[in-house]
Structure 1
Amino acid sequence: MELISLSDIDDAAVRIRHRAQRTPLLWYPWAPPESPLWLKPESLQPVGAFKIRGAANALALLDENSRSLGVVTHSSGNHGQALAYAARAEGVRCVVVVPEGAPRVKTDAMRAFGAELVTVPPEQRLPTAEKHTTEQGLTLIPPFDHPHVIAGQGTVGAEILQDLSDVDTVLVPVGGGGLASGVATAVKEQHPGTTVLGVEPELASDAAESLAADQLVSWPPELTGRTVADGVRVTLSELTFRHLRIRLDGIVTVTEDEIRSAVGTLARSARLVAEPSGAVAMAAFLSGKSPAGRTVAVVSGGNVDPELLAETLTTGGSEHQE
């Protein structure tokens, strides 16, 4: 399994330009002077998350026979929505294997985009998706464990450098590692001196443990399922681990309280709706876990459960006032 390159990311940017938004960098005025902050709001994508980039790139590279049979994936929501959205636009059948307990706001959106949902226990996600490829001839487009998906996600990093070439630190959420792998590739191949840090919940910190041990460590669903950040409850693959081991500068972890506080702060101070997994990078910044300097935090998604959002808005937390 070869690592993706900057040229793979540049090619992906051309393929996805009619499917994914080129999201702006938004200056966050409440950051301290020594660490100015910009937000990369992937929550503004048409499906509410960065996943449209990788899904659209992978779908664009399928041959006609594969398109005629359809695609399948496994997802708690954001990748499933993204693949369903891209597949509907191109008239391709899409099946999504969903873990039990996936947020309704995400499963409803997948159905609205035309996906056929198959609900299974979390540990049966991948085996069930693979069964559909064998029995129905569908092409598996995984959420992160594929070079075409990683290359699509890497366009986030390429856009960051285009808009802020002298950025010192990029904070990026880590779940399965596809986004962090792509962003780290785009940034480090162009600006090796820029620090790229992954961020994950303490309750799902398999990536931090893997990098510390210098070998892939997988956590079972009963452990990763404890975090409120449902979008990062998955663990790294061999492919994403290899990318992060070579190209990521490190990983910091955040608590559940810090994640919830960041969701509320983004809504109140930045006027951005973020789901918990989309707010982990902001949580790292707000809790002082990133180095000083010009910083970009990737807000990876905004498909939050309405009740959870309301809860974060009414419980206070970290706030910046004029």
Structure 2
Amino acid sequence: MIGISDVEAAAGLIAGHVVHTPTVPSPGLSDLLGVPVTAKLELLQRTGSFKARGATAKLLSLTAAQRAAGVVAVSGGNHGIALAMTAAGLDVKATVVMPRSAPAHAVEIAREAGASVRLTDDMDGAFSLVTRLRDEGLTLVHPFDDPLVVAGQGTVGLEFAEDAGDLTDVLVSVGGGGLIAGVAVALRARRPGVRIWGVETEGAEAMSAALAAGGPVPVPLSSIVSTLSAPSASRLTYDHVAALVDDVLVVPDREAVRGVLDLAEHAKLWTEPAAGALLPAARRIAERGGEGTRLGLVVCGGNATTSDVGRWAADFGLR
């Protein structure tokens, strides 16, 4: 388990390398949900998502020999973008392994940043290839199973705690669990009374399955939300979520896509389904909590193209 001192150290390490993103009240979302809503806008990171924080913390911790040998990562999209762009800025050679289901624009961005991109048939194959490349001498920058990466992601929670007004509940999207683990460490230290909720999509339920089983288990992946599609949680992230998070809610892909459209219309934010999934979950929390509920949403990323969203909306019969 990492502690608040680890998150604070990561904040000092990455300062000047990542954006201290805005934390803003959202009148549009407040009207939509019927309770006050504050949004932490991680989609405004240079890489389009919070992933820049953990990647930067890890790369800045490397020895000269590790930097010279290069790094490797597995990604459903955002982690690969973040690693590729961050490594380019620090003159570190990067290899990114992605499943073929990863968004085409994520593959393109990683390649344009100078990373070597390797594609596999599925996420299980991606993790297997990364393991082989790590054994060949590359340093693994894991998307969530690394205390330095979790501490880096935790700086989101540190900033949220410092910048937001009074909150009763904070919702965080969950893939492998690195973001919610780090955010929970920061919020439990700085806002101990706040309830913390994870949000997954159906067919990408690594953390809720782990909580039900009492530890990480493999899960079948079928969600369209590739950025949340981890084949399992890690012991590191599971331990943090089990100890610090109130619960993990699961929403259908269709509602996550509807959330993307609602965020665009009501919050004027262009997001991806991993962030869109927060809205249906937020409705549940608002209904449970009733009057006095004050929601905080970690808007984790915006790396979706207009054609992506248009296709998903058409597939689900959404306007």
C-alpha contact (below 8 Å) 2:215/2:235 kept by paired residues: no
Mapped partners of 2:277, 2:34: distance in 1 = 21
Shift of 1:191: 2.2
TM-score (norm 2): 0.92
C-alpha contact (below 8 Å) 1:279/1:300 kept by paired residues: no
Q: Which runs of 5+ in 1 are unaligned?
A: 318-322
What's the CA shift string for 1:210-260, capped at 9, x where partnerless?
2133222220xxx32x21211101121111111111111111111122111
Match of 1:21 among 13, 19, 38: 19
C-alpha contact (below 8 Å) 1:258/1:287 kept by paired residues: no
Shift of 1:206: 2.9
Shift of 1:287: 5.1
Alignment of 1:182-261 (within 5 A): 182-219=182-219, 223-224=220-221, 226-234=222-230, 235-261=232-258
Deviates more, 1:231-240 or 1:288-297: 288-297
What's the CA shift string for 1:161-204, capped at 9, x where partnerless?
10125311110001100001000110012222110110001222
AA paired with 2:138?
A: L
Provide the alpha-carbon RMSD of the alignment: 1.8
Shift of 1:111: 0.7
> Which residue of the partner structure matches residue 87 of structure 1?
87
C-alpha contact (below 8 Å) 2:74/2:130 kept by paired residues: yes
SS in 1 for 2:289: coil
Mapped partners of 2:27, 2:94: distance in 1 = 42
For these two proteins, the number of residue pairs brought into alignment is: 310
> Which residue of the partner structure matches residue 127 of structure 1?
128
AA paired with 2:298?
A: V
AA paired with 1:249?
A: D
> Which residue of the partner structure matches residue 73 of structure 1?
73
Mapped partners of 2:131, 2:224: distance in 1 = 28
What's the CA shift string for 1:142-175, capped at 9, x where partnerless?
1111000000000111111101253111100011
SS in 1 for 2:40: strand
SS in 1 for 2:161: helix
SS in 2 for 1:4: coil
1:167 aligns with 2:167: yes
TM-score (norm 1): 0.91
SS in 2 for 1:46: coil
> Which residue of the partner structure matches residue 301 of structure 2?
301
Mapped partners of 1:268, 1:316: distance in 2 = 13
Mapped partners of 2:194, 2:18: distance in 1 = 25
Deviates more, 1:44-53 or 1:292-301: 292-301
C-alpha contact (below 8 Å) 2:167/2:296 kept by paired residues: yes
Mapped partners of 2:146, 2:217: distance in 1 = 19
Mapped partners of 1:244, 1:109: distance in 2 = 31
Mapped partners of 1:198, 1:247: distance in 2 = 11
Deviates more, 1:258-267 or 1:286-295: 286-295
AA paired with 1:140?
A: L
C-alpha contact (below 8 Å) 1:216/1:241 kept by paired residues: yes
Alignment of 1:139-158 (within 5 A): 139-158=139-158
SS in 1 for 2:303: coil
C-alpha contact (below 8 Å) 2:76/2:228 kept by paired residues: no
Mapped partners of 1:89, 1:283: distance in 2 = 37
Mapped partners of 2:54, 2:280: distance in 1 = 25
